[in-house]
Every structure is written in C-alpha cells, then in structure tokens.
Structure 1
Amino acid sequence: MKDTIRIFKRFFEDQKRDIKIYDSSVVEKGNVTFFLMREKYERKMVIIYPSRNPDDVHKNFIAEEEGKLNKALNYKIYSCNDQNASELRKQLPFTRPQVIGLTPAIGTGDRVGLATPGHIRAVRKLGVFPVLALQSIREMKRTFRSPQDVMNDVSWAVFQEGYRDGFAADADHLKTERDIRATFEAGFTMYTIDPSDYVDDEADEYDLKMLKEKFEQLPWSDLACDRKDLFEMYLEKEFK
C-alpha cells in the first residue's frame, strides 16, 4: 500500500501538480486502494487499481479524471459529490452512521461541514461514541444545507480521518413529515421530534378544572387513542 501511494505521489510531482494526501484516509479493499487528497483548495477521492483484472468496486463512482500510473496500476480521481458520497457509504461501511441504542454518546453538530475532522480527533481522545451528523432543519435552512449535505460532509470527514469506531446521525428539531422523510432518505439514524408548536406554555398556571377541560378537548381521533389508552400507557409508570 505504501508503495502504491509513493508511486502516485511521484507521478503527480512529475506533472508539477501540487497535491496533499490525507494519509489517515488510505484504505485497501481487495486489490483497490482508496484515499482522499487535496489539490489546491479542493478535496478529492482517489482510487488506484490494477490494470489487469480490476476490481469492480469503483464502477459506480463518477470519475472526473483517470489514467495510468505505470503498466500495472491505473488511477481515477473523483469529486466529493452526492453520487460519490452515496457509493462511498456502500463500499466503505465505516463511513455510514449506525443506530446508537443505549450507548453513552456525545453530539458534536458541525454546522458548516468543516469542523468534523476536529470533532473526530477530540472524541478519539475521550473514548466516547459521537453523534457527528447533528443539525436541526432550522439550522440547515439558515446555512443553506440539506440533510444530504450534512450526511455527505460527515462521511467524507470520517473517511479523511480513517475513523472506524462508529458514529450516529441525529435529525434534530423535526416538525413536519416532509422533514422526517428528507432526513430518513439521507440516512439519519436518530430522529428528535419537536412538538413545541403544540405545547401549551400556560399549562403550568392552570387550575385542576382548567386542566381537565383542556384534557377533554384534546384531538383524540388524531391521537389514535382514547383517554383510557393514555392512562394505561403513562399513569403510574416509571421511565428511565
């Protein structure tokens, strides 16, 4: 693997192209080598594979450049776009989020898509499970990002840092079915529903009579349960 990277570096040096390889991203799958590099200010993915009997793992990526390093090795260069991020998660499973379960975790929440490598380095020192993709729909709108953008940025960062200890993705402050679908399709593994539009902020000040009236006025048909069901689900129950 080191020889392959050295050949690639020398090839580009001979072409007078200024590149930086993220050494922590280098990974082998079968007879194919994956890694990330930066050329000028743009991060790109590189796949190096044998000229003879090439593995098919790279066939669904969309390349922007390809060529021969020598008689034995070919290379392809890819932009870090949506299609390639989606295929990356299929080929390298450590770049896709996991269901967190009851594992102790910490949410990071990279709001602009640039800070995740630093977050990964921090959690490595702490030994906690990170929720790397963590952003509310409101924040996405304000930063002109989509759920897919958030997921893709995290996947590329995990690949860049060679982080294989797992991470989760929390779609935060969800208020509409449309937002839930968008985050589900992007691959989020945790969903935080925001019911604040339906919360009566004055409830703490109501007397018992008013509370009973408000309770009776709840939209029971929309809730798909009746009063008895609600009592059975929550009354005198302990939740941890």
Structure 2
Amino acid sequence: MIEELISALKGKGFCLYPKSIRKTEGGATIFVAKRGCEKFICVIEGSNPIGLSPEAAPAVENIGFYKLSWENYLKLKEVLPIAPSPCNKKASFGTGDRLGLVTAAHLDVLSRYPVLPVVAQQSPRELMKEHRTFKSVLLDAVMGLLESGYTGAFGADA
C-alpha cells in the first residue's frame, strides 16, 4: 500500500511522510504529504467519513487533500489521539520549538524517553509579538505530531 501511495503522490508532485500513515477505527487512512512548501492532511475515507473541508488541492485518485484548519483539527481529534493531555509522567520536557518547525524530530527523539513532550509552547508575550494565537501554535505542533507518526501523550502550554 505504501509504495502505491508514494507512486501516486509523486506523480502529482507530492512527497509522502511514510511515518505519518494512520488508520482510524472507521477505516479511513490519514497521512501527511508535502508539495513544495505546503503540507496537507491527506485522507482516504473509510466507512465512516471524517468530513474534513474544504479540499485544498485536487484529489489524486481517492485521496483528499486538506489544510490543518482549526475546524479540521476538531474533526480529526475525534478519530485520532491528537489533543494535548495533562502530564501523566514523572517528568516533562518542553521542546522550545516556537513555530513547530522541528516538532516531528523532537517527538522522534523524546518518544525514546519516559517524559511527556510539551510541544505547543509559546508565551502570551511571544504570541502578541509574533501575531499568533494558541490555536495556530497548537496546529503547528499537531502537524509535526501527525508527520512523525507519534501516538503518545503530549502537552501544550501556549
């Protein structure tokens, strides 16, 4: 399946993040793909459609491409464990990745240790200075989480 996905996407200029492939209980396959500088949440619907919208790029075969908007995040967290959670470990580790650019790499490393990664971090002062919102910080962190294939708990303190 992965080879067919990679081939279909490559023919349309997309690069698949293989670690990102996940199946939902409803049978949907969800993964992250990139074209140029843009990342997309890609969905092959199962028996229970997730209902993301609007499509951000034309479909390739039966694959829908979506931006990770707040509305789409709310729908995705109903079928995937992508919501921040309280610290359930003796230790936590704040990554300090203010823009979510290396969240996937941080999660890859931190998944090897008994810590709760805190990946969505930005102070109120930084939010104002960067003209960002908590939602945008969380969405950037979640995209990295999806890209990495990480399935454990994570924290947010933006």
Matching residue's letter, 2:55: A
Q: Contact 1:133–1:170 at 8 Å: present in 2 too?
A: yes
- Mark the CA change 1:12 to 1:161 in structure 2 (over 3 Å): closer, same or farther: closer
3-state DSSP class of the match of 1:90? Answer: coil
Matching residue's letter, 2:151: R
1:8 and 2:5 are equivalent in the alignment: yes
Could you tell me how far apart the structure 1 residues matched to 2:129 and 2:4 are? 44
Q: Contact 1:25–1:160 at 8 Å: present in 2 too?
A: yes
Identity %, equivalent residues? 26
3-state DSSP class of the match of 1:142? Answer: helix
3-state DSSP class of the match of 1:64? Answer: strand
Query: Which deviations, in whole Å up to 9, do the C-alpha atoms of 1:118-171 show, x marking residues without a partner?
Result: 221221233321111122110111222111011111111111111112111124
Name the structure 1 match of 2:37.
41
- Mark the CA change 1:101 to 1:157 in structure 2 (over 3 Å): closer, same or farther: same
Name the structure 2 match of 1:19.
14
Could you tell me how far apart the structure 2 residues matched to 1:102 and 1:12 are? 39
Could you tell me how far apart the structure 2 residues matched to 1:167 and 1:68 are? 32
Q: Contact 2:100–2:140 at 8 Å: present in 1 too?
A: yes
Could you tell me how far apart the structure 2 residues matched to 1:9 and 1:118 are? 21
Counterparts of 1:59-98 in structure 2, within 5 Å, are 59-65=51-57, 67=59, 69=61, 74-93=62-81, 95-98=82-85
Name the structure 1 match of 2:28.
32
The structure with the largest alpha-carbon Rg is: 1
Could you tell me how far apart the structure 1 residues matched to 2:149 and 2:99 are? 21
Matching residue's letter, 2:128: K
Matching residue's letter, 1:80: L
3-state DSSP class of the match of 1:77? Answer: strand
Q: Contact 2:92–2:118 at 8 Å: present in 1 too?
A: yes
Unaligned stretches of 5+ residues in structure 1: 172-240
TM-score by length of 2: 0.86
Name the structure 2 match of 1:110.
97
1:163 and 2:158 are equivalent in the alignment: no
Unaligned stretches of 5+ residues in structure 2: none
Could you tell me how far apart the structure 2 residues matched to 1:140 and 1:147 are? 8
Give 1:44 deviation, angstroms: 0.6
More helix by share: 1
Could you tell me how far apart the structure 1 residues matched to 2:111 and 2:6 are? 29
Query: Which deviations, in whole Å up to 9, do the C-alpha atoms of 1:165-213 show, x marking residues without a partner?
Result: 2111124xxxxxxxxxxxxxxxxxxxxxxxxxxxxxxxxxxxxxxxxxx
- Mark the CA change 1:102 to 1:27 in structure 2 (over 3 Å): closer, same or farther: closer
TM-score by length of 1: 0.59
Give 1:101 deviation, angstroms: 5.0
The number of aligned residues is: 157
